[in-house]
Structure 1
Amino acid sequence: MKVTIFGKGNMGQSIGKNFELAGNQVEYFGSSDRAEKLGDLVIMAVPFGALESIANQYKDELKGKIVIDISNPLNFDTWDELVVPADSSAAQLLQSWLPDSKVVKGFNTTFAATLQSGKIGDLPTTVLLAGDDQEAKGTIKEALAGSPLRVFDAGALKRARELEATGFLQMTLAASEQIAWTGGFGIVE
């Protein structure tokens, strides 16, 4: 599968590595690049503030595509709140900007280091997906099948609120040096 990643930073590279390990073709685009032909799976590995601009720029090209939002809409000035309405999420806003795309929330509850290593302590790194399109979530899980990551379906797109709150909590714990940026939350089965 061809995977397009908007974002060349640590998260974009770490996510891309896992798709590559699973046998997918991955391409990366930065803020100054122009993407001509997007893959069937598009990952928005960009800050929340960049989502609307990319959605507007590529709205036609993203029709029918699976779009993964990895952002945590954190107020980076205060590190004390999410900047989306309490009854919404960054992913739900992205879905409203891309009504003809299949938006899925994912990768926002993991750090780049745990995506690189495939581990959180002794546990495999877990990716939680929230989205309204079951087939889209299944496609993502299948595309990651050859990677070290575990993938769980966290429910409908409205569950993105809880995923973003979890990502926010994990980031604030790391920023206050209570956990390491190489750690995070894991799932024991």
Structure 2
Amino acid sequence: MSTKQTIAIIGATGNMGSGIAKSLSKSNNRLLLFAQHEDKVQALVDDIKKNNPSAEAEAIACPINASWEADIIILAVPYPAEKEIAAKIKDVANQKIVISISNPLNETYSGLITASDTSAGEELQKLLPNSKVIKAFNTVFASDFATPVIAGQQADAFIAGSDAGALQTVAELVQTAGFNPIIAGDLAVSRTLENMTVLLIQLTMKYNYNWVAGWKVLHN
């Protein structure tokens, strides 16, 4: 990416959070990493710097401080935790890009717990009315970050949001992470993207894709 961004990753030590952090650390961005267990965050920072000594990554003890310093905030937390985090960061996330990666799955992975006329992305936007909420990284698996090229094809990663500038910025981030970004539409398209992940999980379990699987739009 050309412009250096400060990116806060809340929930940085989870499978998705650490995958995103490691991928984005290859760029010239500054990463502020937060999770419940500080020792795990520090271990992640050490791991990132071992692989890339020039990477700018630091452990931050408080999600509010991390978000206050950041240009972009990535909520790498499960859907039920988004509400609590949103309440904490609401004031410091004003006019900032907030990325929703969650899929509001039910316990059996047979569907979503959100109503059909909304999505995790849209619910987060309601909680953060003055932020630019973008849906991204929810259609890829955590292990895809290490393997974004699957069976010779670069996995597509879909993005939805209602702010054109924010979409472009996030598309560049998705590219930095190794995926082919596809801007799918406004934030309401999150409903489709979240359902796509339900299907991908079901297919992965049924056909044993080993959790390295993704979507690819073939076109001429």
Matched with 2:78 is: 47
Root-mean-square deviation (Å): 1.6
> What CA distance in whole angstroms lies between the structure 2 residues aligned with 1:171 and 1:147?
21
Give the residue type in structure 2 aligned to 1:111. F
Alignment of 1:171-186 (within 5 A): 171-186=201-216
| Match for residue 27 of structure 1 among 18, 23, 32 | 32
Query: What are the Cα deviations for residues 43-91 of structure 1, in whole angstroms up to 9, with x where unaligned?
Result: 1111000000000011101111101100110012x22220001010000
Give the residue type in structure 2 aligned to 1:34. C
Query: What are the Cα deviations for residues 2-33 of structure 1, in whole angstroms up to 9, with x where unaligned?
Result: 11101121111111222222321112111364
> What CA distance in whole angstroms lies between the structure 2 residues aligned with 1:43 and 1:13?
12
SS of match in other structure, 1:85: coil
Give the residue type in structure 2 aligned to 1:89. S
- Taking structure 2 as the reference length, the TM-score comes to 0.80
Matched with 2:143 is: 113
Matched with 2:8 is: 4
Q: Which structure is larger by alpha-carbon Rg, 1 or 2?
A: 2
| Displacement after TM superposition at 1:183 (Å) | 1.8
Which 5+ residue runs of structure 2 have no aligned equivalent? 38-60
Identical amino acids, percent of aligned pairs: 35
Which 5+ residue runs of structure 1 have no aligned equivalent? none
- Taking structure 1 as the reference length, the TM-score comes to 0.92
| Match for residue 15 of structure 1 among 3, 13, 20 | 20
Q: Alpha carbons of 1:30 and 1:151: their partners in 2 closer, same or farther (altered >3 Å)?
A: same
> What CA distance in whole angstroms lies between the structure 2 residues aligned with 1:145 and 1:81?
29
Query: What are the Cα deviations for residues 118-166 of structure 1, in whole angstroms up to 9, with x where unaligned?
Result: 2122111222110000100111123455443211101000000000000
| Contact 1:107–1:127 (Cα < 8 Å) also in 2 | yes
Number of aligned residues: 188
> What CA distance in whole angstroms lies between the structure 2 residues aligned with 1:147 and 1:139?
13
Q: Which has the higher helix share?
A: 2
Q: Alpha carbons of 1:162 and 1:63: their partners in 2 closer, same or farther (altered >3 Å)?
A: same
| Contact 2:34–2:66 (Cα < 8 Å) also in 1 | no
Matched with 2:132 is: 102
